Amino acid sequence: MNPQRWRLEGQTALVTGASAGIGLAIARELLGFGADLLIVGRDADALEIARDELADAFPEREIHGLSADVSDDEDRHAILDWVEDHCDGLNLLINNAGGNISKPATDYSEDEWRGIFEGNLFSAFELSRYAYPLLTRHASSAIVNVGSVSGITHVRSGVVYGMTKAAMQQMTRNLACEWAEDGIRVNSVAPWYIRTRRTSGPLSDPDYYDEVIARTPMRRIGEPEEVAAAVGFLCLPASSYITGECIAVDGGFLRYGF
Ligand SMILES: NC(=O)c1ccc[n+]([C@@H]2O[C@H](COP(=O)([O-])OP(=O)(O)OC[C@H]3O[C@@H](n4cnc5c(N)ncnc54)[C@H](OP(=O)(O)O)[C@@H]3O)[C@@H](O)[C@H]2O)c1
């Protein structure tokens, strides 16, 4: 075993949506492997609290917070401009920020469905493209997209969320092939129900919770750290021959027929 293949020392990672939930757990995981970080979220106060908490836990790492909305193209440029000005390129991009409005297909206003596309999909596409020149400054770099089981099968998320996450899977496969010769690996993860503030509402209904658990072979909700571990692996040199793949972090949900 070569321990260096399980370390990210000297690498800089950009994690979007890192002030809470899965993104914050990913930030912790990457810091634990030795990376320096730029974390992004919209709420500046929440981001500062997260940054301080991470800095206390990892005083030897460089951690910066940048308040930005990945739905907004000016903000996307501002994020990569910051990286360009302050870092020696970029090693890792984690497209994690995302959100949803769940309703029947015919009930979405145009602003609502277009907004979900901007936040979940176009954000990841544009950030990946804007990051490309910074990622290619290193011999090997990686992008990990946080998708969802909703992009693979029907779940009760609403069609728009499912469409954005399905397109994210195909974007992952295409960019993996297109950018392999540039030394950029592109992979994704597809979580099922994970315990975050986003899911606390629906899961607080005991009947709904029981239905979710009944359809999950491992009979429990996932933890943000369990998604972060899969993302961490896809960032590590240990996964150097893996690209275009998706790891489901779902307690067996996608494999469960009847
Ligand atoms: N939790 C699950 O069960 C689950 C399952 C499958 C997939 N996912 C995916 O996992 C990702 C994270 O979800 P989560 O459950 O961890 O959500 P969360 O707990 O609500 O956290 C979302 C994080 O993203 C930030 N954020 C949201 N929209 C943003 C934007 N437009 N620009 C910048 N930052 C933004 C939030 O901070 P601000 O609000 O301050 O911006 C927060 O830091 C999402 O892509 C989601 O689709 C989650």
How far is Cα 244 from Cα 60, in angstroms, rounded to an integer? Answer: 33
- Centroid of chain to Cα 75: 18
Q: Which two tokens mark 203?
A: 């899961």
160 lines ligand 1 (CB under 6 A): no
Q: Give DSSP secondary structure letters for 80-108.
A: HHHHHHHSSS-SEEEE---------GGG-
Q: Whose CA is nearest to atom 41 of ligand 1?
A: 42
Per-residue pLDDT tens for 103-114?
A: 999 999 999 999
99 lines ligand 1 (CB under 6 A): yes
Closest approach atom of ligand 1 to CA 198: 20
Whether the pLDDT of residue 217 is over 90: the answer is yes
Question: Phi and psi dihedrals of 190, rounded to 5?
Answer: -130, 90
Round the CA-based radius of gyration of the chain to a whole number and report it: 18
151 lines ligand 1 (CB under 6 A): no
Q: Whose CA is nearest to atom 36 of ligand 1?
A: 17
Per-residue pLDDT tens for 10-46?
A: 999 999 999 999 999 999 999 999 999 999 999 999 9
Q: Whose CA is nearest to atom 46 of ligand 1?
A: 98
Per-residue pLDDT tens for 125-167?
A: 999 999 999 999 999 999 999 999 999 999 999 999 999 999 9
Whether the pLDDT of residue 210 is over 90: the answer is yes
Angle at 118 (CA atoms; ends 196, 202), nearest 5 degrees = 25
Q: What is the mean pLDDT of residues 179-192?
A: 98
49 contacts: CB under 8 Å, gap ≥ 6: 19
CB 17 within 8 A of CB 38: no
Q: Which two tokens mark 214?
A: 């009944």
Q: What is the mean pLDDT of residues 96-121?
A: 98
99 Cα to the center of ligand 1, angstroms? 6
Pick from 26, 74, 32: which is nearest to 50 by CA?
Answer: 26
Give the β-pairing of 12-16 and 246-249: unpaired
Q: What is the mean pLDDT of residues 94-117?
A: 98
Average pLDDT, the chain: 98
Q: What is the mean pLDDT of residues 68-75?
A: 98
Q: Could you give the residue numbers annotated as active site?
A: 161
Neighbours of 98 (CB within 10 A): 26
Closest approach atom of ligand 1 to CA 118: 31
Q: Ligand 1: which of 163, 189, 196 to mutate, judged by most atoms within 8 Å of the beta carbon?
A: 196
Q: Ligand 1: which of 53, 160, 194 to mutate, judged by most atoms within 8 Å of the beta carbon?
A: 194
How far is Cα 129 from Cα 67, in angstroms, rounded to an integer? Answer: 20
Please return the burial class of 49, using the count of CB atoms within 10 Å of its CB with bins 0-12, 13-18 and 19+.
Answer: middle
pTM higher than 0.95: yes
Q: Ligand 1: which of 15, 19, 22 to mutate, judged by most atoms within 8 Å of the beta carbon?
A: 22
What per-residue confidence (pLDDT) applies to 12? 98
43 lines ligand 1 (CB under 6 A): yes
* 199 confidence band (pLDDT: 50, 70, 90): very high
What per-residue confidence (pLDDT) applies to 258? 84
